[in-house]
């Protein structure tokens, strides 16, 4: 959520940033400023009335002590009138504050200056490539490999739950577990403290990290308990620090977490849904950082290097994209996407997003830090390190041998305890 004072001081910059995102409702910026003006005027009037009420209360007390009951009662009547006025102003102030919050919730983050304008994914910039993206149509796609070696049963998942909920079996299950442990160990070795968060969150947590109200239709909702299944570990882990003031010397805070992720994927049916490409339940390992504002972009570059190292350990060809304004997520100021090339499917598959949210989430969370200059909002960052389904799919497809066997990347072998699938 943008800070109102920032909008006041940088109105044109905010509008330019929203235009970079192709955000249409630019009039909302003036609505915010107008409602905030009403809020501040109401607050000013309320403060004056409360000050006058306090002054009157003291005068009434003094008059009673002096035996001047008649004069005191006259002032008491006036005090009653002031209390009624203050109640009206308090109600009006609450309405203005709620209206202001409702407007701010509708405005996405302002893109970083390095983000270029663009309509959608076609306008993203490729900034780095590693390995050779070699199409191999003779290679089997992962869903055929999964069936051939009995690694993943998609039909059984449909029977138990529905499409998008696969059942991993045998070496497929062990490979899934190995990837999770490898990612967590790699992150821990880089200084990220592991946490195991809840996999369901309340409404306040959803609003805190920006999934609500923007992505409400994409989340699974438990009506009876007013809870949501998490779409990513980013939500519960970042909310650990909701309503927290940390000391400056405690920063940076770095966490890593494994979680299942649940996404309705509404509106995506028929689009890249084969096999593991798009699921309703999948596993992911996340990295989260809380940083001082002056350090956050250096930290972001460090997170990018970290994910690069993971993918190189897995011996997969990949590229990094800087997302354009039209493709950048609602809460993000700058996002890098990592895509792995699928040799069998002959296309790029997104496996990680690494983002800096600046103060956007922190303002919603009331996540602050305190130093010699006072209390101020922190910056939050997160990234996938990594999402499992498409990584697993890419390993099966890209590490195929001429005899049809799948060679496990060397870095994973201590975790899988097998070297080949055949």
Distance of alpha carbon 171 from alpha carbon 157, whole angstroms: 17
The whole-number pLDDT of residue 55 equals 84
Distance of alpha carbon 28 from alpha carbon 343, whole angstroms: 46
pLDDT digits (tens, 9 = 90+) for 92-106: 999 999 999 999 999
Cβ-based neighbour number of residue 142 at 10 Å: 29
pLDDT digits (tens, 9 = 90+) for 203-250: 999 999 999 998 888 999 999 999 999 999 999 999 999 999 999 999
Q: Is 126 flagged in the annotation as binding? A: no
Give how far Cα 268 sits from Cα of 196, 319, 390, Å. 30, 24, 17
Domains in the chain, CATH or no CATH each: 4-104 (1.10.287.40), 121-421 (3.30.930.10)
Q: Is 289 flagged in the annotation as binding? A: no
List Cβ neighbours of 73 (8 Å cut-off, separation of 6 or more).
none
Q: Find where tokens 């577990």 sit.
A: 177
Q: Is 161 flagged in the annotation as binding? A: no
Q: Is 304 flagged in the annotation as binding? A: no
> Can you give the pTM of this predicted structure?
0.92
Q: Is 264 flagged in the annotation as binding? A: yes
Answer positive or negative: Cα dihedral of 200, 172, 303, 109: negative
Q: Is 342 flagged in the annotation as binding? A: no
**Nearest to 32, CA basis, from 70, 69, 6:** 6
Q: Is 332 flagged in the annotation as binding? A: no
Q: Is 232 flagged in the annotation as binding? A: yes
Q: Is 174 flagged in the annotation as binding? A: no
The whole-number pLDDT of residue 267 equals 59
The whole-number pLDDT of residue 228 equals 98
Helices (runs of H) and strands (runs of E) counted in the chain: 13, 18
- Tokens representing 317 are 């060809």
**Nearest to 22, CA basis, from 323, 322, 324, 326:** 326
Distance of alpha carbon 147 from alpha carbon 8, whole angstroms: 59
The whole-number pLDDT of residue 273 equals 77
Q: Is 286 flagged in the annotation as binding? A: yes
The whole-number pLDDT of residue 271 equals 57
pLDDT in tens, the chain (422 residues): 999 999 999 999 999 999 999 999 999 999 999 999 999 999 999 999 998 888 887 887 888 788 888 787 778 788 888 888 999 999 999 999 999 999 999 999 999 999 999 999 999 999 999 999 999 999 999 999 999 999 999 999 999 999 999 999 999 999 999 999 999 999 999 999 999 999 999 999 999 999 999 888 899 999 999 999 999 999 999 999 999 999 999 999 999 999 999 999 865 555 567 899 999 999 999 999 999 999 999 999 999 999 999 999 999 999 999 999 999 999 999 999 999 999 999 999 999 999 999 999 999 999 999 999 899 999 999 999 999 999 999 999 999 999 999 999 999 999 999 999 99
Cβ-based neighbour number of residue 308 at 10 Å: 16
Strand 368-371 relative to strand 245-247: parallel, antiparallel, unpaired?
Answer: parallel
DSSP 92-122: HHHHHHHHHHHHHTTSPPPPPTTPPP-SSGG
């Amino acid at each position: 959520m943008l800070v109102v004072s920032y909008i006041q001081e940088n109105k044109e910059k905010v509008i330019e940033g929203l235009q970079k995102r192709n955000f249409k409702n630019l009039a909302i910026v003036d609505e915010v400023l107008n409602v905030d003006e009403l809020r501040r005027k109401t607050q000013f009037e309320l403060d004056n009335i409360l000050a006058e009420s306090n002054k009157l209360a003291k005068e009434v007390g003094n008059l009673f002590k002096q035996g001047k009951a008649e004069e005191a009662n006259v002032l008491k009547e006036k005090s009653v009138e002031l209390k009624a006025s203050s109640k009206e102003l308090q109600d009006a102030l609450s309405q203005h504050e709620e209206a202001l919050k409702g407007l701010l919730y509708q405005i996405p983050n302002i893109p970083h200056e390095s983000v270029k304008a663009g309509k959608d994914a076609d306008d993203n910039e490729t900034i780095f490539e590693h390995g050779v993206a070699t199409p191999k149509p003779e290679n089997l796609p992962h869903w055929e490999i999964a069936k051939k070696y009995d690694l993943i049963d998609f039909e059984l998942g449909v029977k138990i739950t529905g499409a998008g909920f696969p059942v991993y079996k045998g070496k497929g299950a062990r490979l899934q577990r190995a990837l999770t442990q490898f990612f967590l160990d790699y992150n821990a070795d880089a200084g990220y403290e592991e946490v195991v968060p809840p996999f369901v969150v309340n409404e306040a947590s959803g609003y805190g990290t920006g999934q609500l109200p923007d992505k409400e239709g994409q989340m699974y909702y438990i009506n009876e308990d007013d809870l949501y299944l998490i779409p990513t570990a980013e939500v519960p882990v970042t909310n650990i620090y909701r309503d927290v003031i940390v000391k400056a010397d405690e920063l940076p805070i770095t966490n890593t977490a494994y979680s299942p992720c649940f996404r309705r994927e509404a509106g995506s049916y028929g689009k890249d849904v084969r096999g593991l490409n798009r699921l309703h339940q999948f596993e992911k390992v996340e990295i989260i950082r809380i940083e001082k504002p002056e350090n956050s972009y250096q930290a972001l570059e460090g997170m990018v290097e970290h994910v690069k190292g993971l993918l190189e350990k897995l011996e997969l060809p990949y590229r990094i994209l800087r997302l354009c304004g039209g493709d950048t997520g609602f809460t993000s100021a700058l996002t890098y996407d990592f895509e792995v090339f699928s040799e069998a499917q002959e296309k790029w598959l997104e496996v990680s997003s690494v983002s800096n949210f600046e103060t956007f989430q922190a303002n919603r969370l009331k996540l602050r830090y305190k130093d010699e200059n006072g209390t101020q909002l922190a910056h939050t960052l997160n990234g996938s390190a990594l999402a499992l389904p498409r990584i697993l799919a890419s390993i099966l497809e890209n590490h195929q041998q001429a005899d049809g066997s799948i060679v496990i990347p060397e870095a994973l072998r201590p975790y899988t305890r097998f070297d080949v699938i055949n």
